[in-house]
Amino acid sequence: MPVTNWLEPMKIEQQATPLYQAILEAILGQIQSGALKPGSRLPSESELCRSYSVGRNTIRRALSELVNAGFLKTVAGLGTFVEDNRVTKSAEYLLGMSQEMRSHERAVTSEVLEAKLIPADPFLTRRLEVLLGAEVVFLNRIRQMDGEPVALERAYLPHRLCPGILKYDFSERSLYETLSTVYQRRPYRAEQEIEASLATAEVAKLLRSSIPAVVLVFHRETRLESGEVIEYVDSEMRADRFRFYTNLRLAYAPDEAGFRRLPIGVGQDTTA
């Protein structure tokens, strides 16, 4: 298994912070920036000692603290690895991010970049099934998990289905819960496309990711039980923070003939 090569010779400046703490923060910074990816192996203790110009006990304490905090794991005989702390999201159920992350005991907040009414252009007219120029709620947010930016979300809603919704503060409030409890318009089903892409410079900056950074791009059209479109969403999620789970079943019984063995001798020349 290859060792992640991300360290350059460096010296920790003498300061009030203990040496092990400074090294801990340096390694943690590499993990959070994506330079150290989930599952990658750290250099050996001796290599870390040379890179940071410190003793082995200092390195061991820094690594131990990161292991206890859940950022690293040690495998006997193999080394120290970056723990995979990605959150598993369901691809089977229609859940708001706030609701789903609560089930993982994660706190979700948002930074609202824009919240305003815009006129429906031809694209939104098709997606939301509204008239050209109709009022559309535009909600542009950075979604944060435990204080860390993990997704960008641009939601569009027909204003006639949720009049006055922009008076609510969606930096803390759940959009789906507001639609369900205030407007009695519970999202019922959705069609969603997911693809992997490289983050643009703007997206990477907003998500505090180092370029190149992989994001999961979502396009979702959500409907009410009546069939009306209540929301269209474009979003980018950090691929280093999420993975998706789905439970698949065979859609139809396989053709048994496709798996049947032919009798011995079939196709052989028996006239000889």
Instruction: Report yes or no: 137 and 112 within 8 Å, Cβ to Cβ.
Output: no
User: Does residue 123 share a domain with residue 23?
Assistant: no
Indicate the residue among 49, 82, 115 that finishes a domain: 82
Residue 111 falls within a domain, yes or no?
A: yes
Q: Are 25 and 137 members of one domain?
A: no
d(CA 178, CA 173): 7
Same domain, 137 and 26: no
4 falls within a domain: no
Q: Which of 169, 156, 158 is nearest to 234 (CA)?
A: 156
Collect all residues with Cβ–Cβ distance below 8 Å to 71 and sequence separation of at least 6. Answer: 28, 31, 82, 83, 85
Determine what percent of the chain is predicted with pLDDT higher than 90: 43
Per-residue pLDDT at 72: 86
Q: Using one digit for the tens of pLDDT, what is the confidence trace for 89-120?
A: 656 555 556 555 555 556 778 899 999 999 99
Nearest to 198 by CA among 213, 218, 209: 213
Query: Is residue 137 assigned to a domain?
Result: yes
What stretch of H or E contains 97? helix 97-102
Distance CA(170)–CA(112), nearest Å, equals 7
Do 117 and 240 have their domain in common? yes
Residue 64 belongs to a domain:
yes
Residues 52 and 165 both lie in one domain: no
Q: What pTM was estimated for this model as a whole?
A: 0.64
Give the SS3 label for residue 106. coil
pLDDT digits (tens, 9 = 90+) for 44-93: 999 999 988 899 999 999 999 888 877 888 888 888 988 766 676 656 55
Q: Are residues 77 and 92 in the same domain?
A: no
The verdict on 130 and 181 lying in the same domain is yes
Residue 9 domain flag = no
Cβ atoms of 109 and 147 within 8 Å: the answer is yes
Judge residue 164's burial from the number of C-beta atoms within 10 Å of its C-beta, 0-12 exposed, 13-18 middle, 19 or more buried.
exposed
Percentage of the chain lying above the pLDDT 70 cut: 77
Most confidently predicted of 124-138, 196-210, 257-271:
124-138
> Rounded distance, CA 150 to CA 271, Å?
72
User: Could you tell me the CATH number of the domain that includes residue 27?
Assistant: 1.10.10.10
pLDDT in tens, 35-46: 887 788 999 999
Same domain, 74 and 110: no
116, 218: one domain = yes
Residue 250 lies in a domain: no
* pLDDT given for residue 157 in this prediction: 98
Q: How many domains does the chain have?
A: 2
Q: What is the pLDDT of residue 169?
A: 94
Does 92 share its domain with 155?
yes
Q: Which two tokens stand for residue 93?
A: 């159920």
Look at residue 191 and tell me if it is in a domain. Answer: yes
Last residue of a domain, which of 51, 82, 113?
82
Nearest in space to 167 (alpha carbons), one of 117, 235, 104: 117
Domain coverage including residue 223 = 87-245
Q: Do residues 32 and 62 share a domain?
A: yes
Higher pLDDT, 68 or 160: 160
* Average pLDDT of every residue of the chain: 82
> Residue 111's domain is classified under what CATH number?
3.40.1410.10
My answer on whether 152 and 227 are in the same domain is: yes
Is there a domain that residue 35 lies in? yes
Q: What pLDDT score was predicted for residue 132?
A: 97
